[in-house]
Amino acid sequence: MPNHSVLQYRFRNFEALSQALNARRQTTIRQLSLKALQCDLLLIESEQLSFSFTQISSPLHVIGAKGTGCLEFSFILQPGQQDFFAHKFAIPQTTLFGFDPTREVNLIVPANSTICVAQIPEDVFQLCAELMERKDLNARFFRTNFVTIPDMINGVQAYLRNLYNTALHHPEYLSADRSRHTLEDFIPLLIDAIPPPSPRLDTSLRSPRRFDLVNQVEEYMRTHLETPITLMSLCTALHTSERPLNYGFQEVFGVSPMAYLKTLRLQSVRTQLQLADPKTTAIAEIANRFGFHSLGHFSRDYKTMFGELPSETLKQA
């Protein structure tokens, strides 16, 4: 019997994606733009390791716990329209990241990108590292959470792209016993790609100078979702000007501040509708509370983001 499986999913909203990922961990996913989401998720699972390939059309923010007892290694297979950000650091495509098991996921994934996360049981990885005499791959190394290896990561990325294409077009091959060694080759390939400690090894990542400003503005938005907000009022409240505010949001989230505010408000309306009593709730009243005064425009934007009308959400409450 095959000891691994290939599973493919397509999601049209971030809530369904969250439910699928939360079968393995507890994460929160937020969509960062009004653009309709299309997400293709491919899972390859075996006894000793598993891979998740995620291809998305709209930017997402993923926060939450990692799988227990495992090490997770993240790879950018296709860069997006903006940078990836992990814990406020911009992640180049040549960087292996996310492998600190004590640190939660805090990742901004840009639109039109593909990311792969390889999940390896800690004991399996450590055994392989010992056999390959890599004592440097210890707790101190994992605490760094990232390593930039431009010359050596290409081979691992090529392996993952080939694995992804095989799983997409010939999944029956990966369900056969002969693929077992192909999958297990990944762990030594990964270990070989991680260079030993060296003073010349790049251990720094860039954090945009406006990242803290964006976080402050986002927090302000979240605590004032039912209050009228303009770009000028945001600038006044946060003691800044329009230019750095716009540049900051475009750089981090890939959208303007006001477009981002609209997604927050739409998500809040959806939460209210999901909790409401369909017999006594007026959609217009909830929409107005969050600043949507044109029911036609609101319904259009809502359906774009969630794939259904507000009335359909309320009916299922």
126 with 269, same domain? no
pLDDT in tens, the chain (317 residues): 346 788 999 998 888 888 887 766 788 899 999 988 899 999 998 878 899 999 999 999 999 988 888 999 999 999 998 999 999 999 999 999 999 999 999 999 999 999 999 999 999 999 999 999 999 999 999 999 999 888 889 999 999 999 999 999 988 877 655 555 567 789 999 999 998 887 665 567 888 889 999 999 999 999 999 999 999 999 999 999 999 999 999 999 999 999 999 999 999 999 999 999 999 999 999 999 999 999 999 999 999 999 899 999 999 87
Residue 106: its pLDDT value, please?
Answer: 95
Residue 126: both structure tokens together:
């450590």
Q: Tell which of 193, 222, 248 closes a domain.
A: 193
Residue 32: its pLDDT value, please?
Answer: 94
Q: What angle do CA 235, 108, 206 make, to 5 degrees?
A: 80
49 with 89, same domain? yes
22 with 123, same domain? yes
Listed in sequence order, the residues at least 6 apart from 282 whose beta carbon sits closer than 8 Å to its beta carbon are none
64 with 139, same domain? yes
130 with 15, same domain? yes
184 with 219, same domain? no
Residue 71: its pLDDT value, please?
Answer: 95
251 with 135, same domain? no
Q: Tell which of 141, 159, 193 closes a domain.
A: 193
Residue 203 lies in a domain: no
Residue 199 lies in a domain: no
28 with 144, same domain? yes
Residue 202 lies in a domain: no
Q: Maximum distance among all alpha carbons in the chain?
A: 67
Residue-number span of the structural domain to which 225 is assigned = 211-315
Cα–Cα dist 236/311, whole Å: 37
Residue 70 lies in a domain: yes
24 with 168, same domain? yes
Residue 309: its pLDDT value, please?
Answer: 95
13 with 127, same domain? yes
124: closest CA among 194, 188, 197, 67? 188
Residue 201 lies in a domain: no
189 with 216, same domain? no
Residue 206 lies in a domain: no
Residue 205: its pLDDT value, please?
Answer: 87
Please tell me the total count of domains within the chain. Answer: 2
Q: Tell which of 166, 193, 220 closes a domain.
A: 193
CATH of residue 21's domain is 2.60.120.10
CATH of residue 272's domain is 1.10.10.60
Residue 1: its pLDDT value, please?
Answer: 38
